[in-house]
Structure formats: C-alpha cells, structure tokens
Amino acid sequence: MFKTRLLSGILLVIIALATIVTGGDVLFATLLMISFIGMTEIYKVLEIGGTLLGIAGYVAAVAYYFLLRLNRADLVTMLCILYLILIMVIYVFSYPKYRSEQIMLAFFGLFYVAFMLSYVYQIRMLPQGAFLVWLVFICSWGCDTCAYCVGMLFGKHKMAPKLSPKKSVEGAVGGVVGAALLGVLYAFAMNRFVPGAEADALQYAILCAVGALISMVGDLAASAIKRNHDIKDYGNLIPGHGGILDRFDSVIFTAPIIYYMAIILL
C-alpha cells in the first residue's frame, strides 16, 4: 500500500510540475478537468450525480472557468445569480423529485470544488505567479507530510478525536512549523537560483504558516463530509490516495488564501 501511495504521489508531482510550469491553457484545461472530476465525486456523495442538477453544475463550472479565461471576473456574481435561478427552476418544475437540501448542495458543490480550485490558475496568472503558485502545494502537501511525521513521533493529544482520531495537536503544530520552514527554504532557493527574484523569507514563512492552518481545516472538512455519508474515500482514481477530493481537499482551501494573502503582503 505504501509503495502504491508513493508511486501515485510521485506521478501527481510530475503532473503538477508539467502543468504549472507550462501554465496558460494547459493549466486552465487541467484544472477544469480536475474540477469536473471533483464535482462528480461530491455530487455522487450528495446523491445528485448524473441528474439534471448535476448537469447544471457542470455547465456553470465551464461558464465560470471561461469567464476567468476571458478576464471577466466582474461577471462571476452575475453567473452565480443565474446558476441559483437555474437550479431553482429545476427544483420547481421537477417537484417533488429533488429535496430542498439537494438544491443547496448543488450550489455548494460548484463553489467548493470549481471556484476554490480555480485559484491555483488565478495565482499562476499573477505577475510572480510562476513562483507563488508553489506555495499552495508547500502549504497543503508539505504541511500534511510534516504533520504526519511529527504526529507519528510525538503525537499524544488528539486534535479532533471523533472526526479524525489519528491527527494530533503535536502533529498540527509540526505541520504549521514545517510548512513555514519550507516556505523560508523556498524563498532562499528562489533568491539563489532565480535571477531577479526578491523573495522575502519572513513573508513566505507567514504565507505558508497561515496556509498550513487553513489546509488542515480543508482536510478535516472533507473528512467530516465523508463521515456524514459513511464513506472512506471520494473515489479510487488515484491508487493509494482515493479520489481527486481526497488528494486536493487541503489545496481547495489553501489556494484562495494564498492568492489573497499574496496580493495583500507581496
């Protein structure tokens, strides 16, 4: 199991390197595809996959991504309103096929997966986005790795015993500190190897520490949804890891935070 998980993780890193370094339409298309898969996973859990509600969510996701691609973020609020009206129309004219909570969850699925993940693309499109975008993965995946190692060695106090019994307070602290240190090392590496880079180690440490805290919330939130619906994984697309949402649950929360903090601090 460990070997399968490791090989899958290496493949994910290679794909991330290829798409993020290339950026542009390649990254745009990759994130749209990942959003589609992630929405399919969450809609399946929420029992609206393959329904008219689910199809409406996919259409809205495509519309949203193309608004970003066309630099028309000013129309996103209008899209949200139109999507809400659309799913309410479906709700009304197919009554009583859907329950009211399914309508709310259809909107949630779009926002939770497509909107939040799109910030990876939005960070990449910033002036220093080619370098800043890696902070998302340092925060999420780096924090996860550091938290796991510290928790295994020193974990005694349970952080969320009912939700995730294996996670400890010591592991959480180790994850945040580890992510901050990785941010500092990344800043030093940029300044050393990237001509013209002026990465501030303290700012990167703050970005990564805050991002790591938020990434743990994303991880636990995804676990809470799974426990509410009595499932172990969202899917089996990634051997040893589960589905897209099992691997990107922390990235979903971290990406928007890094985007807005980068704009404010850098």
Question: 251 near 117, Cβ under 8 Å?
Answer: yes
DSSP H/E element including 160: strand 158-160
The torsion angles phi and psi of 127, rounded to 5 degrees, stand at -50, -40
* Closest alpha carbon to 42 in 93, 116, 119: 116
Domain boundaries, the chain: 23-125, 128-266
Distance, CA of 64 to CA of 263 (rounded, Å): 22
Backbone angles phi, psi at 238, to 5 degrees: -110, 105
Structure tokens at 178: 């580890």
Q: pLDDT of the chain along its 266 residues, tens only?
A: 545 665 666 777 788 778 988 999 999 999 999 999 999 999 998 889 889 999 999 999 999 999 999 999 899 999 999 999 999 999 999 999 999 999 999 999 999 999 999 999 999 999 889 999 999 999 998 898 899 899 998 888 898 888 888 899 999 999 999 999 999 999 999 999 888 788 899 999 999 999 999 999 999 999 999 999 899 888 887 766 688 898 899 999 999 999 999 999 87
